[in-house]
């Protein structure tokens, strides 16, 4: 039971489970929403923090680069430099040029002291191919060797940078430090105006990458990813020292117009890229961080959220199962208790509460029915007691007074009588009640009659009604002081009952009244008198009040010779029935009724004997025709019951007349069917003989319809019509079919030709044979023979 309930689609378990799941999922859903919102906020904060750090890097580096630009500005606009490059005095005093250059190197020494964060700077003089350094002047070859010489940075590359026209910006370079170590450096290169396609001079100001990164190396962002500083040509000026290698397939082209984007390298690593540009130096500051590092905090929060949700679901699911079982156990016990009394339909879905409610409703209804049945049973037992009292079959061991007390009956008056009520006509009453079966309608009718009679009797007397064999018997305990008026009182009660039931319910009764006795022990005698009185209903007709004292003078009216139904009349009726002569049969029946009920009067018992004799005659007629088992007695078993239960002579005559009509119709149809079978059998024999004759004579060329008619001594056209009506084809068609079938057997062998086959089956003309063969088979005999040979 429990498993069936748990997996039932409409079980309360499912409703509770859904409720618990909704309660469980509500905080989970709220937590999920909070996680989504907090994750979004966390991502925004991470992005903002990263952006702020990158801006700090830009601020620090812009100050550094600003110092380089400032130094370039001071060198460019130094009076001695301007005079050296643009003065014409050296055309007049050429020997002053080296001295002025030397003076410039001293000025550069002062700049070196003023800009301690600048690692190295010089002026490349294109005019005399020399380089001005602080405190010294060197040739370009010697300057390259002492400043830049390396495999990564060739002399040609350096020379191309120094002779570039109209250029000012930051580029990556290599320089040799004071410790003769090669270092990456960021150089700010600024060319002077060009002359003859080349700049007069070029300022080079360098800051080592180690100095740049050293200023910002403590920032957290550099320890977990890459920080790049790019010039306007996307050349890497400086890159942070990271334990991981910078992706070689980094999409520098995507930096234009994108402040941040997602990037996946060829090796499958995912990166988050942030990009800001310095509005002053036009340099780009790029942050490249692995997504796993970048979203580490968010992933941690997500993992914690998922773990807490999983724990909540598992814990909530466990608690749900525990509480569900705990809460369902009382319901299950109730369902189990009620299911012993009212089992749910097998395979049907149901809800336990609905089942319990239905079970309770059913129990309450059963209790009400039980009370009603107890009351009905009490009424039935009382009715049974009254029946035994009327029939004189009471148990002598139990005193009548004690039994009356048990059934709440009082029979303390002096006079006793019995009234019998027989229902003659109730069809109109039944027609008005359409919502009940016939049996219930009959019970309702008896209930109405019983209540009406008991109420009429109880107005002045005591009366108790009981049902005895299709009749209602009322034991009346009269309160009349003068016995002479008791009969009139009973007749008055009977008349009022008849009138009320007929006018109100359209129920018509015949009522019999016994003599009045002064002791309860005489009640059985009164009941027998009422029965004797009611038997005269058959002769008197219905709707009467029959008093036993009024019927006693007429008891001598029985015919001493019995009833009128001699053997001759019986034989006449038997013959009329066997030959289906309905008119003659009804005349004989009218004669029997006239002799027995009109000219004389027979008793009820003699009348029953007469009915039995008539039924015997009808069965004999059916037995002689061989149709007793197929007769209407088998198809209509209640036909005899209606006759035997007839209440009046007119009812008997009506039932017998209907029975004679059905028997005559049956016997007439039986005789007609027998004649038809005889003709059909003769026709079948004739057809078989004709077929045999054709099978034996098909090779005869003279075989035709006329020859067959002559052989059987019948007209050819009539014989052909009989044959076609029975078989469905004419005689000539039959002859041709037989001949064609036989010819097909001849065509099977190669030794017979089409002509041989035609002559062999009775055809004189081969063309006629071919025409008939094609008509029957659909192809010519020659084609048929070819198909057989293939």
Q: Which CATH class is domain 77-214?
A: alpha beta
Across the range 434-456, mean pLDDT stands at 86
pLDDT in tens, 293-303: 766 666 777 78
Q: Angle 116-120-123 (CA atoms, 0-180°, nearest 5)?
A: 120
State whether residue 146 is helix, strand or coil. helix
- For residue 133, the model assigns a pLDDT of 92
What architecture is domain 217-294?
Answer: 2-Layer Sandwich (3.30)
604 vs 469, higher pLDDT: 469
Across the range 98-115, mean pLDDT stands at 89
- Helix 582-593 to helix 604-624 angle (10° resolution) is 160
Domain spans in the chain, listed from the N-terminal domain onward:
77-214, 217-294, 374-555, 567-675, 698-789
pLDDT in tens, 36-80: 887 778 777 777 777 787 787 888 888 888 888 899 999 999 988
Given a cut of 70, is residue 539 above it in pLDDT?
Answer: no
Q: Is 374-555's fold the same as 698-789's? A: no
Q: If pLDDT is split at 50, 70 and 90, which confidence band does 557 have?
A: very low
How far apart are alpha carbons 328 and 12 in whole angstroms?
8
| Residue 705 DSSP code | H
Percent of the chain with pLDDT over 90: 7
Q: Which CATH superfamily is domain 374-555 in?
A: Reverse transcriptase/Diguanylate cyclase domain (3.30.70.270)
Question: Which residue from 132, 131, 126 is spatially nearest to 165, judged by alpha carbons?
Answer: 126
- The reply to whether the predicted model has a pTM over 0.75 is no
| Residue 475 DSSP code | E
Given a cut of 60, is residue 533 above it in pLDDT?
Answer: yes
Across the range 492-501, mean pLDDT stands at 89
Given a cut of 50, is residue 5 above it in pLDDT?
Answer: no
Given a cut of 70, is residue 630 above it in pLDDT?
Answer: no
Per-state percent for the chain, helix, strand, coil, to nearest 5:
60, 15, 25
pLDDT in tens, 570-579: 788 788 877 7
pLDDT in tens, 302-350: 788 878 888 888 888 888 888 878 887 887 788 777 776 666 554 455 6
- For residue 203, the model assigns a pLDDT of 94
Question: Which residue from 712, 726, 715, 732 is spatially nearest to 684, judged by alpha carbons?
Answer: 726
Q: If pLDDT is split at 50, 70 and 90, which confidence band does 187 have?
A: very high
Neighbours of 188 (CB within 10 A): 22
Average pLDDT, the chain: 80
pLDDT in tens, 155-184: 999 999 999 888 999 999 999 988 888 888
User: Which numeric CATH code is attached to 698-789?
Assistant: 1.10.10.60
User: Cα separations (Å) of 637 from 163, 280, 641?
Assistant: 136, 122, 8
Indicate the range of 149-153, 255-259, 628-632, 710-714 predicted with least confidence.
628-632
Given a cut of 60, is residue 239 above it in pLDDT?
Answer: yes
How far apart are alpha carbons 412 and 644 in whole angstroms?
41
Given a cut of 80, is residue 403 above it in pLDDT?
Answer: no
pLDDT in tens, 261-291: 777 777 777 878 888 888 887 888 888 877 7
How far apart are alpha carbons 70 and 60 in whole angstroms?
15
Given a cut of 50, is residue 699 above it in pLDDT?
Answer: yes
How far apart are alpha carbons 227 and 705 in whole angstroms?
123
Given a cut of 60, is residue 153 above it in pLDDT?
Answer: yes
């Amino acid at each position: 039971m429990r498993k069936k309930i748990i997996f039932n689609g409409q079980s309360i378990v499912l409703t509770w489970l859904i409720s618990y799941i909704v309660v469980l999922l509500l905080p989970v859903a709220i937590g999920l929403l909070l996680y989504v919102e907090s994750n979004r906020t966390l991502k925004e904060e991470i992005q903002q923090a990263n952006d702020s750090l990158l801006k700090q890097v830009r601020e620090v580096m812009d100050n550094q680069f600003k110092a380089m630009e400032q130094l370039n500005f001071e060198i460019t606009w130094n009076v001695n430099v301007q005079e050296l490059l643009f003065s014409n005095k050296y055309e007049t005093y050429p020997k002053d040029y080296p001295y002025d250059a030397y003076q410039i190197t001293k000025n550069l020494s002062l700049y070196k002291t003023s800009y301690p964060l600048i690692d190295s700077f010089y002026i490349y003089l294109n005019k005399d191919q020399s380089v001005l350094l602080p405190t010294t002047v060197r040739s370009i070859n010697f300057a390259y060797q002492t400043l830049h010489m390396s495999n990564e940075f060739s002399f040609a590359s350096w020379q191309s940078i120094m002779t570039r026209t109209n250029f000012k910006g930051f580029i990556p370079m290599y320089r040799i430090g004071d410790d003769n170590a090669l270092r990456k450096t960021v150089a700010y290169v600024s060319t002077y105006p060009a002359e003859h396609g080349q700049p007069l001079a070029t300022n080079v100001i360098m800051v080592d990458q180690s100095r740049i990164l050293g200023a910002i190396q403590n920032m957290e962002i550099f320890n977990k990813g890459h920080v790049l500083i790019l010039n306007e040509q996307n050349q890497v000026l400086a890159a942070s020292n990271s334990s991981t290698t910078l992706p070689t397939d980094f999409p520098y082209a995507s930096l234009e117009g994108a402040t941040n984007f997602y990037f996946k390298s060829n090796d499958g690593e995912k990166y988050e890229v942030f990009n800001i540009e310095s509005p002053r130096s036009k340099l780009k500051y790029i942050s490249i961080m692995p997504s796993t590092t970048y979203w580490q905090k968010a992933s941690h929060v997500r993992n914690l959220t998922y773990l807490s949700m999983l724990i909540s679901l598992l814990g909530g699911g466990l608690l749900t199962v525990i509480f569900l079982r705990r809460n369902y156990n009382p319901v299950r016990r109730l369902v189990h208790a009620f299911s012993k009394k009212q089992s749910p339909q097998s395979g049907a879905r149901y809800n336990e509460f609905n089942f319990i409610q239905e079970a309770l409703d059913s129990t309450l209804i059963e209790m009400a029915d039980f009370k009603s049945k107890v009351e009905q049973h009490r009424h039935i037992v009382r009715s049974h007691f009254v029946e035994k009292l009327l029939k004189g079959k009471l148990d002598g061991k139990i005193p009548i007074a004690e039994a009356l007390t048990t059934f709440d009956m009082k029979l303390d008056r002096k006079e006793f009588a019995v009234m019998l009520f027989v229902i003659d006509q109730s069809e109109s009453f039944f027609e008005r009640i359409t919502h009940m079966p016939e049996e219930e309608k009959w019970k309702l009718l008896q209930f109405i009659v019983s209540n009406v009679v008991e109420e009429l009797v109880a107005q002045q007397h005591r009366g108790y009604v009981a049902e005895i064999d299709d009749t209602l018997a009322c034991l009346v305990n009269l309160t009349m002081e003068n016995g002479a008026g008791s009969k009139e009182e009973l007749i008055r009660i009977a008349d009022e009952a008849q009138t009320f039931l007929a006018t109100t319910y359209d129920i018509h009764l015949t009522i019999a009244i016994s003599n009045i006795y002064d002791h309860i022990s005489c009640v059985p005698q009164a009941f027998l008198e009422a029965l004797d009185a009611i038997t005269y209903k058959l002769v008197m007709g219905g709707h009467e009040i029959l008093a036993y004292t009024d019927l006693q003078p007429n008891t001598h009216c029985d015919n001493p010779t019995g009833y009128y139904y001699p053997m001759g009349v019986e034989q006449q009726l038997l013959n009329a029935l066997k030959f289906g002569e309905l008119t003659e049969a009804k005349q004989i029946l009218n004669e029997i009724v006239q002799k027995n009920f009109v000219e004389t009067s027979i008793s009820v018992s003699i009348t029953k004997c007469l009915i039995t004799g008539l039924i015997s005659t009808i069965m004999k007629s059916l037995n002689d025709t061989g149709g007793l088992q197929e007769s209407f007695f088998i198809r209509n078993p209640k036909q005899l019951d209606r006759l035997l239960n007839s209440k009046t002579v007119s009812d008997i005559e009506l039932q017998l007349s209907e029975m004679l009509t059905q028997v005559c119709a049956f016997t007439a149809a039986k005789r007609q069917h027998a004649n038809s079978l005889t003709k059909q059998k003769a026709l079948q024999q004739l057809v078989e003989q004709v077929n045999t004759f054709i099978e034996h004579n098909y090779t005869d060329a003279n075989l035709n319809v006329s020859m067959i008619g002559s052989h059987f001594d019948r007209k050819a056209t009539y014989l052909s019509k009989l044959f076609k009506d029975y078989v469905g084809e004419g005689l000539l068609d039959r002859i041709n079919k037989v001949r064609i079938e036989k010819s097909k057997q001849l065509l099977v062998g190669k030794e017979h030709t089409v002509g041989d086959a035609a002559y062999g089956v009775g055809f004189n003309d081969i063309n006629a044979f071919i025409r008939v063969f094609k008509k029957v088979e659909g192809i010519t005999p020659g084609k048929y023979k070819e198909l057989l040979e293939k």
